[in-house]
Structure 1
Amino acid sequence: MTTLPSESIVSQPIARAFLDRSPLIAQRFPQQIVDADFCATRARHGASRSRLVELVAASMSNLSLSDEQNAALAVLRSPLSVATVTGQQIGLFGGPMYTIYKIRTAVEEARRVQEQTGVETVALFWLEDNDHDAAEASSAHLLDADGAVVDIDTWDKTDDRKSVSARSVDAAMYERITTAAALITGQHADAVRERYSEAYSNGALWADAFLAILQPYLAPWGVLVVRGSKVIESGLHLPILLRDVEQPGQLGAVLAAGTKTIEELGFTPQANVGSQAFFGSDDTGRQKIVVTDELLALAKEQPHRFTPGVLARPIVQDAILPTVVSVLGAAEIAYHAQLREAYEFCGVQMPMIVLRNGATLLDARTERLLSKDGHDVAWFMRTPDELERAIADVLTTNVIPAVELRNELLGALLAPYLTAAETIDQTLVATVRAQGAGVTSTLEALEGKLRSAAKRTQTLVVDRIRSIHALVSPRGVLQERVFPLAFWEARFGNTDLRIIVEHIARAPIGSHAVIGLSDLST
């Protein structure tokens, strides 16, 4: 296993500054360490432990808890315990791979906190199923038979304001999922299709299916789940909701102030701020809050009709849970930088923020192709257009004259003509230079034809490079953001994949590993 420098992976400016420990951004995250005192403070805050246990039990009611999860639940009952937390929305076929990397990073952080402070710590996964982005929750990316990335869409585009938590698989969606699953290939593909087919059975809630797919990883790691929808049903978000509706617009104004600070520091905010931090809902789905005289009474009587927006959700989470570490992706770190004032306004301590680990996985075929190719994995992390130019350079290096040599030779060829023009008729100097530019243009066109011909005559090399790129950097994007859990489970099996993810999470915080099955034997 090797690791890539974070500079080549994390490009989001705020997250980049966070990793570089820039004082400008560091001040936006007040909790820089987790010690016993911070754990004691956080353990005293949040919902009662009996309510938290009930919340987890309701969230995981469709799962059979493992011994490790039951042990974690017992720890959560203790009023002295704390939690490391990460979260994600629902995703088709287990969601993009970074979901499982986030979860395992939270597990490693729980172990680290417990070892360093002596405080019992559990890892919690917050499933944000209050989300209304059904398109994202029901889509994925796979490879077709030709090795090209294809988009998978399984939602019928109905009821677009309906919460994802209320959506279930119908017969038509099941057929679309089954058809898409035929594209899943690998040594373990049949087992994966069977397991996922069971999870997505007709009538299954999307959230239940998602957790059933994750459970072979959550179970041995002892990870507990909190569903955002169960939090809303329970009304545990009411204290933060009241901050938004008792004086309408005040929490939004505080969020706007934090956002303005980010702008004044020279950064572009990751998330937009609305006038209200929460959304309302009715029988037709999610709605923007309309401020009326009855709003406060409605919030107190029916808090389940209000859900937090993207900037209020982390505050709700940390107001309820005894969070000491929050494991985030780069974009999440960026919008958390807007939240310091809002956390303080709501009387909630912001936990320590940790960037999740990431990885680029290599299946056996890609490892073989890389061994023949000679380039390292980082070389392939480029856009498709950049790749095609790089391929042309690879195939024609030391064959087609370098640009510098071509320009040098052309300059030497034209020099006597320029001298003659300067001697005979100064007005012809421009003509000579124009002729030189024309020759340059002709040679560039010729070079393009030669590169295209090289690609045609060296198809094995070209196909190998494109195949590696399609898996390592599909569409020029980090692999972990494109292919879902099912894609890799079919190639490695969930046992070996779980071991690989454990290796990834043991690397230093925020690392991006390059790892394949061969690394398990070394």
Structure 2
Amino acid sequence: MRLEHWKWKKVQPLAGNYIDDYEKVRELYTYDPQDIGSWERRAAELDRREGARVDRSALADALGAYNRRAGAPAAVQSNIERLRQLDSVVVSGGQQAGLFTGPLYVIHKAVTVLQAAREAERRLERPAIPVFWIAGEDHDWDEVNHMYYLTDAAREPRVDRIRVASSVPLPRTAVSRLPLEAEKWQDALQRLLSTLPDSKFKGELNTKLGDLLCTGESLTLPDAFARIMTWLFGHHGLVLLDADDPAIRRLEAPMFERIVKQNVELNAAIQQDDQTVRQVGYTPQAEVADDAANLFIFEGEERVLLRRDGNIFTDKKKARTYTMDQLVEIARKSPERLSNNVFTRPLMQDYLMPVLTTVLGSAEIAYWSLTKSAFALMDMDMPILLPRLEFTIVDGTVDKYMQKHELTFEDVVYRFADRKSAWLDRQDTVRFHERFAAVRKRIEEEYQELIGITTEINNGLRDLGDNNLDKITAQVDYYERKTEEAFRMKHDVALRQLARIENSVIPFAKPQERVHNVFAYLNQFGRGWIDYLVTSALPLDGEHRILYV
């Protein structure tokens, strides 16, 4: 295995400047991630605010119970115990819980969290605990109930999808509150394993996933996610936290109360940063509404976004209303009924844990720029934001095909369609498309001349002539299609090779990590490549790297 650095152009301009030219965005954030002094200043700030956060022992108790349920090994429990130490800090990162962990970038984010925790311990000489925040409170079921993967590339290199669906209509509620029946997990696993090619790792994969997911009980997506992530990263000490865990919610009650009581000022702070982002020259990543309460509430089974109308909180349709006092009471006595949005989640994370740095994707870095004043309002400051590391996996076969067709990684990413088209043109030495076009043109010209002559005999012959011409050109078109099929069959092997390159590196014309799931690679290579990424000495620069395996 080897890693090769490659500069992928950032689509998100604000995040791109954050990574490459921090001075352009300095006023939107608190710490320059590349400044070593930032780490020491942030650690000192955490020490200053020790008494303003959740009690460490209570947090460790809640995390210990949750991670034990996920099957955490000793390395995880050891890290949770280290969290009780007053000098320890947290490196966090998180994501929604997708089916079979979702896209590869989730794996890459966990790798970055572990890398950053190791670097923090080296720099600060104090314990740094890697914590992965599972966004189980999110309610977008259709966003997480499926996964894409490369099927048996040796036979038919295509991207396939597996989707799970409940047998009953699902409410619009937190994914952590939506268990899937045992047979749904069995069906999903069976489809995955039946379409993956045979390999020396497949039997182990079958056994392990069966043990984790097919236990005869209903599981939520976050349940399954936690078990798989513990299997993949538990021996590295990665601690998991589900944002919708009732034990965590109880610890968050005081911050929910503050968010309710200071709601007007909080949204004003977010709006202030929205204006600052625009003034600096960027388009805000997330919408900031004038009446936003920046909280959700669970009513029955539904997760409802709250808005503010004066001192009254209500839903969009104003079918439910709450006074401030009522919400404060809910925060104190039933905090599990409340849930954060994208702007209050960063504040809650900082209240809950001593976050030295948080690992984010480009879009997340952009919307966190809208929270700096909100942090200040709560007597906090934004943690160091670390852009997650990015990877593309290139296996030996794809690498060989790229070399055969003289394709660089840049060619595949930026001009694959043009290079493929040019290759096909070079194979067509007889230029059959041009010849067919020329024949069609001659037939149409001469036949139109013939129709003109025959209509002098009887004008009624024009319709017959036009119909005959359509039939003749249709036969020419058919012959051209059959010639195209024969041409492609002649070059079938090469076209399959090109298809495998495309579907592996840029499926759906997107970066591999945003589409493909991890399990095709676990089936092909086992878990060793993940351990290699975790343990390799990599700079925390948010750059893209090609992993050749």
TM-score, normalised to structure 1, is: 0.82
Is 1:241 the counterpart of 2:252? The answer is no
Write the deviation string for residues 325-348 of structure 1: whole angstroms up to 9, x where unpaired: 111111111111111111111222
State the secondary structure of the residue aligned to 1:292: strand
Counterpart residue number, 1:342? 374
Q: Distance in 2 between matches of 1:196 and 1:259?
A: 45
Unpaired segments of 5 or more residues in structure 2? 307-313, 315-320, 431-479
Counterpart residue number, 2:232? 217
Q: Once the 2 structures are TM-superposed, how far is the Cα of residue 35 of structure 1 from its aligned partner?
A: 3.7
Give the alignment's Cα RMSD to 1 decimal: 2.8
* Bigger mean CA deviation after superposition, 24-33 or 101-110: 24-33
State the secondary structure of the residue aligned to 1:119: coil
Q: Distance in 2 between matches of 1:461 and 1:503?
A: 37
Q: Distance in 2 between matches of 1:455 and 1:4?
A: 36
Counterpart residue number, 1:61? 68
Counterpart residue number, 2:303? 286
Counterpart residue number, 1:193? 206
Is 1:468 the counterpart of 2:481? The answer is no
Counterpart residue number, 2:521? 488
Contact 2:230 2:238 in 1 (8 A): no
Counterpart residue number, 1:444? none
Contact 2:101 2:228 in 1 (8 A): yes
TM-score, normalised to structure 2, is: 0.79
AA matched with 1:271? A
Write the deviation string for residues 448-483 of structure 1: whole angstroms up to 9, x where unpaired: 999999766533333211211100111111111111
Is 1:310 the counterpart of 2:332? The answer is no
Write the deviation string for residues 76-100 of structure 1: whole angstroms up to 9, x where unpaired: 1101111111111101112211112
Distance 1:317 1:250, change over 3 A: same
AA matched with 2:260? V
AA matched with 1:18? Y
Counterpart residue number, 2:443? none
Counterpart residue number, 1:369? 401
Q: Distance in 2 between matches of 1:231 and 1:345?
A: 27
Contact 1:357 1:505 in 2 (8 A): no
What does residue range 356-435 of structure 1 map to in structure 2 within 5 Å? 356-382=388-414, 387-396=416-425
Counterpart residue number, 2:56? 49
Write the deviation string for residues 419-474 of structure 1: whole angstroms up to 9, x where unpaired: xxxxxxxxxxxxxxxxxxxxxxxxxxxxx999999766533333211211100111
Contact 2:15 2:365 in 1 (8 A): yes
Contact 2:285 2:363 in 1 (8 A): yes
Contact 1:380 1:469 in 2 (8 A): yes
AA matched with 1:344? A
* Bigger mean CA deviation after superposition, 451-460 or 132-141: 451-460
Is 1:149 the counterpart of 2:159? The answer is yes
Question: Percent identical across equivalent pairs?
Answer: 22
Contact 1:30 1:350 in 2 (8 A): yes
Q: Distance in 2 between matches of 1:389 and 1:320?
A: 51
Q: Once the 2 structures are TM-superposed, how far is the Cα of residue 226 of structure 1 from its aligned partner?
A: 1.6
Q: Distance in 2 between matches of 1:184 and 1:138?
A: 19
Counterpart residue number, 1:40? 44
Q: Distance in 2 between matches of 1:52 and 1:12?
A: 35
Write the deviation string for residues 28-70 of structure 1: whole angstroms up to 9, x where unpaired: 1112244444313314432111112112113213134323223
Return structure 1 stretches of 4+ with deviation > 6 angstroms.
398-401, 448-454
Counterpart residue number, 1:17? 17
AA matched with 2:288? V
Counterpart residue number, 1:501? 533
Counterpart residue number, 1:134? 141
AA matched with 2:512? Q
State the secondary structure of the residue aligned to 2:547: strand
State the secondary structure of the residue aligned to 2:116: helix
State the secondary structure of the residue aligned to 1:216: helix
Contact 2:6 2:546 in 1 (8 A): no
Q: Distance in 1 between matches of 2:182 and 2:76?
A: 33
Contact 1:396 1:454 in 2 (8 A): no
Q: Return the match for 1:84 from 63, 80, 91.
A: 91
Q: Once the 2 structures are TM-superposed, how far is the Cα of residue 276 of structure 1 from its aligned partner?
A: 1.0
Contact 1:500 1:515 in 2 (8 A): no
State the secondary structure of the residue aligned to 1:78: coil
State the secondary structure of the residue aligned to 1:276: strand
Q: Distance in 2 between matches of 1:490 and 1:464?
A: 20
Q: Once the 2 structures are TM-superposed, how far is the Cα of residue 508 of structure 1 from its aligned partner?
A: 4.7
State the secondary structure of the residue aligned to 1:277: strand
